[in-house]
Structure 1
């Protein structure tokens, strides 16, 4: 099963494609910052019944031309991965006709060292294909423990926290990140919520995750309270449950929480403002509709 920390190590590049060029500088490779970036389908499945999916795939447009960035989150060495990565790059190049770049993000030094080696595919006398991934591991991303530095590049700070989550630097990084997020304006609350969620995912089950949850409960509670109050007020000003339901659905959409037709029907058919208010409060931090609905025996899709 794919872990949340695995997801965060490549999703951060979806959230902020420009992070790739900034992070690659720490590897001594100068990519121009993207002028634009668009997500491509990560499904590299062929017509035969063999499914292959890269973690994140982005088409990057720069002043020097275009390239496709394939981001893989790798938690442990795997003898099968080099062949899969070679397939991904070949397939992407054949499909889009654009030069591909493979970035492997590793949360530990051992895996990063393994992934950074050159993989020759073919007989020893004449390898027909050489795979050279770019690798970001704990040694490649700096420790960002200054609030000012964190505020200048919040996505890079999130990546720093995820890759140093098991090290002694984690506490200082998270404290700096929390202060940087607190400096965001009220207009950036939705973005801040995304960054908060990505950080928690990137920390996985490490001890640092407990500190982060404490910081969110204490230092950043105003994000939740301000957003909740604003959305509640919008709903109540309309004077009917429909306003609350619309506000809830809007928040879920902005946070990327999957809402099924059954979930939508349950929300829109609810005329109890107190229940809608409760769901709205939970939706500020929930990652699924189960978390929004679940309480006192309630679960997503159960009868009211």
Structure 2
């Protein structure tokens, strides 16, 4: 649970970086806001034993000094653990940018001076090149004697697991969402997205389903995987705010669902002959469409779609 109040104790700072805040960056820091424990669980497999949070407080994001220069973070969280509090600064970085190390150094120094608590910098990337650059260490000062060294922790496609096992995804939906976002540019991302979609359907809390479906859509940004995710989400319209759900509500009805059956089969590279395509698109029976949707992610041929029909 996140309490919104000031504190002088250890905090986590979540920030996304872009000339303008994109949906991808928004999803990155919203994920950690919604479930800060994702941070600890993501690094546990790398043998970095960060403790699980026992309490999280959302802090002010305004880092402005009494000067004309404004410094504003997206999110700052104070995290309490059984072994003591700490601050986590999270950046979503899409490319190498020489202006970021000085900014990171400022944020780290400012937060430490303000809260007198340890601060950890986490950088989330979607490609290995950016991840390798961000790993650093990023040195500030003279080459022979740097006065400040910034050593970020990195999450990216190189160390976030590709979660394609349904039981693993069900057991940790936030980590499965992070897997989908960080692997957005990977060849196997469709398998990750199918697994996440199936895991989301197992959630009894429709609000939680909606949150993680939306975070995934935003995190995929304009990657080719976005279209595939939107198509998967047509199986369940309980999520909110996304362009997919709005479009489907506007178009409405079984005709749109029938079209989605064909699109999903094509995305899965299942051959759809012309006669099968016409049969699917002509279907106006909701019960039949429901049966087809339940089979779409597992069938190997279009004939399996019609197995119980004459």
Q: TM-score normalised to the size of structure 2?
A: 0.70
Distance, in Å, in 2 between the alignment partners of 1:89 and 1:149 is 34
Number of aligned positions between the proteins = 227
Matched with 1:206 is 223
* Residue number among 188, 197, 212 corresponding to 1:178 in the alignment: 197
In 1: Cα distance, 2:222 partner to 2:202 partner: 27
Contact preservation (8 Å) 2:26, 2:219:
yes
The 3-state SS of whatever aligns with 1:65 is coil
Q: As a proportion of its length, which structure holds more helix? A: 1
Which residue, out of 60, 67, 76, partners 2:79?
A: 60
User: Does 46-55 or 16-25 show the bigger shift?
Assistant: 46-55
Contact kept in structure 1, 2:214 and 2:242, CA below 8 Å: no
> How far, CA to CA, are the matches of 1:146 and 1:42 in structure 2?
37
Distance apart, 1:112 and its partner CA: 0.5
Contact kept in structure 1, 2:54 and 2:80, CA below 8 Å: yes
Does 2:152 correspond to 1:142?
no
Q: Once structures 1 and 2 are overlaid, which stretch shifts more, 89-98 or 45-54?
A: 45-54
Alignment partner, residue 232 of structure 2: 215
Partner of 1:268: none
> What is the match of residue 287 of structure 2?
none
CA distance in 2, matches of 1:75, 1:55: 16
Q: Is 1:78 aligned to 2:34, yes or no?
A: no
User: What is the CA–CA distance in structure 1 between the aligned matches of 2:214 and 2:229, rounded to whole Å?
Assistant: 10
1:169 Cα deviation from its structure 2 partner: 1.4
Corresponding residue SS for 1:84: helix
Provide the C-alpha distance between the structure 2 equivalents of 1:29 and 1:45, rounded to a whole number of angstroms.
Answer: 32
Q: Structure 2: which 5+ residue stretches go unaligned?
A: 1-19, 251-310
Structure 1 counterpart SS, 2:146? coil
Q: Does 2:47 correspond to 1:47?
A: no
Task: Give the TM-score, by structure 1 length.
Answer: 0.71
Q: SS at the partner of 1:173?
A: helix
User: Any residues of structure 2 matched to 1:1-304 within 5 Å, and which?
Assistant: 1-185=20-204, 188-218=205-235, 220-221=236-237, 223=238, 284-285=240-241
Post-superposition CA distance 1:265-295 (Å, at most 9, x none): xxxxxxxxxxxxxxxxxxx4358xxx79xx8
Q: What CA distance in whole angstroms lies between the structure 1 residues aligned with 2:207 and 2:77?
A: 23
SS state at 1:129 partner: strand
Contact 1:121-1:129 within 8 A present in 2 as well? yes
CA–CA distance in 2 between the matches of 1:111 and 1:40?
Answer: 29
Equivalent-residue separation in structure 2 for 1:49 and 1:286 (angstroms): 38
Q: CA deviation at 1:139?
A: 0.4
SS at match of 1:143: coil
> Separation in 2 of the partners of 1:112 and 1:286?
29
DSSP 3-state at the match of 1:35: strand
1:85-134 Cα offsets, whole Å, 9 max, x none, are 01001100111111111101011111100000101211123221111111
Asked if the contact 2:217–2:242 (Cα under 8 Å) also holds between the matched residues in 1, the reply is: no
CA RMSD of aligned residues (A): 1.7
Contact 1:55 1:72 in 2 (8 A): no
CA distance in 2, matches of 1:87, 1:205: 31
